[in-house]
Structure 1
Amino acid sequence: MAGIGFTLRKMTGRGDLWGIVQAYSYSALLSSGPWLFTILALVGITFLTRYLVTWDDLLIFRTIITYNFSFSLVFCGPIVMVGTRLLADQIHEDRLDRAPSLLFSMMMAYIALVSLPLIYLYGYAAALTASQRAAAIAGGYLIGLIWTVVVFVSALKNYTYVSAVFFIGMFIAFVSCSMLLASYGATGLIWGFNAGLAFILFGLLAWIFVEYPALPREPFILFRQGGTYWVLGISGLSYNMAIWVDKWVMWARDSNVDVVAGILRTAPYYDSAMFLSYLFTIPVFAVFFVNIETAFFEKYNRFYKSFQKHVTYMTIESYQRDIINFTMLSLRNLTVLTGLLAILIVLSAAFILETMNIPFKEIGVFRFGALGACLHVLAMFTMVFLSYFDFRKPVMILNVIFLLANFTFTWLCADYFALHGMGYFLAAALTFVLAMGCLVYNLKRLAYGAFITNNPSI
């Protein structure tokens, strides 16, 4: 994302409001495009169609989209993390002729991993019609494949095209659902949503193949080279599982769950409040990627390039102090920004829920979710800084701790309605505190880490 940030930062430096709006909008879209599209489209379609279809049809549609989103994130986690690192290596080595091979390999890996669970759940276990089974399986493939494609889209510079593809896809989803719901109910809603996803997937693929015209000659490149970065794979898997594990626990433990198609369990009041709380963290993502990560990368690059120039140890120490000071100052500013955002959300929670037509009983979950989401993004940004210095194992351990803590705390709070959402909040707080401690410790040993612990020649 730092490479994108340099281009986006030029927009903010033009001195006009439109440039600032463009930069932050593109940053939000590129950092969370599929997730943002799914949440906005799901909320919009639900709002527009709630009086046009039965509650049962709407519940089937929302449940299948929620499950597909969960499947796609968890199974894409290791693939995207390892694939992103391999793509970065290719860019560094100026071997972008291998990018199509990597993309093809990542897409095939996702299809191979997710096929059995998708087909078993929708094709056998769930009580759905044949058309609903096919639509649900297709949706599971489409959302995950978009996640893999976005890795490559983020390295391109045509942000206008990318934005247009996402917004046109969302518009197609709205129109298709509106046209099909009257005659086909839940089935029409799922296929209509898939139409928007398909447009996004193939629209992005079209531009990628324009930018990277080489043929995919190494279809197994992810499996051949990805083993080196197995720690990143575990990090990606545990991180994405941690995002969803509190929902899984609530689906299993909550007495007020909805059971769809005989087997698909969801807790709508919990899920809706948590998804909405995530949505409010997008501005923080935009600020981080446009301003902070870009400036950080400049200092990071200067520090490591100084080794090649054989500078003195005093110079290296001064560059290290610059990195430490900038990182701590940036995290302090982000903490203040997210803290103010969390306070604003908590105080205006009643108004937000009323505006979104969400039952008031969800206010506790929403408030805990907002506080947890703010701490969650801070922990994630801290791990981004650690990842720059290739501290893969500490990041993996932090993600595993986040997963175990979210599961444990949510399980302990599940029987107490007033505490729903607190498990996620406590897990995010614990992860942020540990991540900060890990970052401070490793930043003080940065030069030692660069020359000794992270030196591949030793």
Structure 2
Amino acid sequence: MAGVGFELKRLFRARTAAGHLKAYSYSAIVTTGPFVLLTSMVLAVQLLFIAYGAGDDESAVFLGAVIYSFIFSQLLSSGFTIVLTRYLADCITVQHYRDVTPSMFGMSAILLVLGTIAAVIFFWNKPLAFELKLLSHVFFSELLLIWVGGVYLTAVKKFKYLILGYLVGVLISLLLTVLFLETNWLPPTEGALLSVDVGMGVLALFFFLYVTSRFGLPRDGMLFAFLPYLGRHGRLFIGAFGYTLGLFLPNIIIWQGPWGVLIHGTFLYAPRYDVVVFYALLSILPLMTIFVVKVETQFYERYAHYFGAITHGGNLHLIEDSRKDLLYAMWFEMRQALEFQFVFTLIFLALGNYILSFAGLDYNAINMYNVILFASFFVGTLQIFMIMLEYFDFQKGVWRIGAIAAVGNIAFGIVSLWLGDKSYGFGFFLASALALAYGVWLLRRFSNGINYYVFCAQPVFYQADAGIFWTIAHLLYGDKLPDLERMEKA
């Protein structure tokens, strides 16, 4: 999100209430816009089903296809996209633009192949109609392409195009859904899935066309030149995958229990639990908004000054002053962001009890919401700590946090399922608290020894990773394979 900082700084320089309001609004749109638009699309389709009298089964199949596509596309892509972000950042830093567009097509090809294999395994012997399987798989594949394309638009700082693309895709999806429901050309589920397929296809195409217009077609570039990064930065992959797995595992585990509902013998989910989790996770959207503002306008300047003092020959006194300034800004801004979010968590706690009771949820579900609400606060905070460790390239800590989040949710989730529905949500709460406690300890430990980690914990001699991914890339491209981490800026 580094690119958003320039726009935020320009808005804050105005030093007016209007300027500050625009800055926070801009950050909110960039950080939460895609999620809000996609969520609004799904909710709007559900309301259209009700308005046009579609059956509950039709609505349930559509919702199952969308939920599964969203969750498992995130699980499949999260590790790859964070490594791709690192590769793309290096390409832009050294102005090696030749392989930017090819890497987008190469990563998309890998994810589509893996996604197709996963879809075939999942749908094999399922009684769902073939056309519904196909439409669901297309939506799943398009989400994979969207997650990849979003990385590139974020990296080149085209946030307005990112949001515009989502808005156009969602509007097309909703208009086509209305058309199919109005004309009865297709059954409601098939019509709605085809509509979102077309809308998300337009969105993915928009992303790819913009990137190719910016960096050119992948004629001479290397489609898989990023492969060595999967080995070199594999710990980032594990960390991102572990965090995402820990986020969705509680739901997947609850699906296996008595609350699980099987739709058409294919999609298993727990509406009673999933709805509560959804509302709880909405509460942490303000956290990323305020965090981006704080990091991009305050922390990053100190961060750049500290490492600039190191790499450009600053004396010990300058480096030490920069270190103190950096750490003070980091902890101060993080504390402010978390205090801001905690207020929103309390607001959601107060309002949620009334709203959920009006929605028809019982006393136990509302109590579960209160627990999951604070688990969501822990999860949002954990993401911030992981981002800070990624800023300092402390990958060893990132993968450990991700592993703790995943393993903790497996262990506590199974115990929670075994104890019964009165304990649902506590597994998520305990696992998130454990991972966060470790993340806080790890960042404090790193902060106290930051000079050691920056100066002494680095390898004395640079050596390119020679693992299996580097071997595959070298077999494909030989000596033409660029080593971006040793290249000078063009």
TM range (shorter): over 0.9
Contact kept? 1:72, 1:140, Cα under 8 Å? yes
2:255 pairs with one of 238, 248, 251: 251
Contact kept? 1:61, 1:190, Cα under 8 Å? yes
2:218 aligned counterpart, secondary structure:
coil
Counterpart in 2 of 1:436?
A: 440
What's the offset of the Cα at 1:332? 1.5
Counterpart in 1 of 2:273?
A: 270
Cα distance in 2, alignment partners of residues 352 and 94 from structure 1: 52
Cα distance in 1, alignment partners of residues 222 and 139 from structure 2: 27
2:457 pairs with one of 432, 453, 457: 453
Percent identity over paired residues: 21
Which one is further off, 40-49 or 295-304?
Answer: 40-49
Q: CA RMSD in A?
A: 2.1
Cα-to-partner distance string for 1:124-150 (whole Å, 9 max, x where unaligned):
232221211110110110111101111
Contact kept? 1:5, 1:291, Cα under 8 Å? no
Counterpart in 1 of 2:240?
A: 236
Give the alignment of 1:262-411 within 5 angstroms: 262-353=265-356, 357=359, 359-360=361-362, 362-411=365-414
CA spacing shift, 1:22–1:147, aligned 2, 3 Å = farther
Cα-to-partner distance string for 1:30-74 (whole Å, 9 max, x where unaligned):
435544333222122213322421000100000111111111011
What's the offset of the Cα at 1:114? 1.2
CA spacing shift, 1:54–1:22, aligned 2, 3 Å = farther
- Computing the radius of gyration over CA atoms, which structure comes out larger, 1 or 2? 2
Counterpart in 2 of 1:200?
A: 203
Asked if 1:40 is matched to 2:44, the reply is no
Cα-to-partner distance string for 1:243-290 (whole Å, 9 max, x where unaligned):
1111110011x2121101213210011112212222222221111112
Contact kept? 2:250, 2:428, Cα under 8 Å? yes
**Aligned AA (1:110):** L
Contact kept? 1:364, 1:421, Cα under 8 Å? no
Cα distance in 2, alignment partners of residues 148 and 32 from structure 1: 17
Unaligned runs of 5+ residues in structure 1 are none
Counterpart in 1 of 2:69?
A: 68
Contact kept? 2:284, 2:345, Cα under 8 Å? no
Cα distance in 1, alignment partners of residues 304 and 432 from structure 2: 30
Counterpart in 2 of 1:416?
A: 420
Cα-to-partner distance string for 1:383-402 (whole Å, 9 max, x where unaligned):
11111111001110011001
**Aligned AA (1:237):** F
What's the offset of the Cα at 1:8? 2.9
Contact kept? 1:36, 1:279, Cα under 8 Å? no
Contact kept? 1:119, 1:137, Cα under 8 Å? no
Cα-to-partner distance string for 1:352-374 (whole Å, 9 max, x where unaligned):
3367x463453233222221111
Cα distance in 1, alignment partners of residues 62 and 24 from structure 2: 32
Cα distance in 2, alignment partners of residues 402 and 152 from structure 1: 28
Contact kept? 2:128, 2:266, Cα under 8 Å? no
Cα distance in 2, alignment partners of residues 369 and 375 from structure 1: 10
Cα-to-partner distance string for 1:171-203 (whole Å, 9 max, x where unaligned):
112122222244412111211122221121112
Cα distance in 1, alignment partners of residues 196 and 237 from structure 2: 30
Unaligned runs of 5+ residues in structure 2 are 463-490
1:97 aligned counterpart, secondary structure:
coil
Cα-to-partner distance string for 1:278-328 (whole Å, 9 max, x where unaligned):
222222111111232442121111111112332222221111111111111
CA spacing shift, 1:223–1:157, aligned 2, 3 Å = closer
Counterpart in 1 of 2:78?
A: 77
**Aligned AA (1:359):** L
Cα distance in 1, alignment partners of residues 141 and 29 from structure 2: 21
1:126 aligned counterpart, secondary structure:
coil
Contact kept? 2:85, 2:155, Cα under 8 Å? no
**Aligned AA (1:100):** T
Which one is further off, 33-42 or 365-374?
Answer: 33-42
Contact kept? 1:345, 1:367, Cα under 8 Å? no
Cα distance in 2, alignment partners of residues 200 and 26 from structure 1: 21
Counterpart in 1 of 2:95?
A: 94
Counterpart in 1 of 2:113?
A: 112
Cα distance in 1, alignment partners of residues 22 and 105 from structure 2: 31
Contact kept? 2:61, 2:264, Cα under 8 Å? yes
What's the offset of the Cα at 1:80? 0.3
Cα distance in 2, alignment partners of residues 316 and 98 from structure 1: 36
Contact kept? 2:89, 2:155, Cα under 8 Å? no
Cα distance in 2, alignment partners of residues 65 and 36 from structure 1: 15
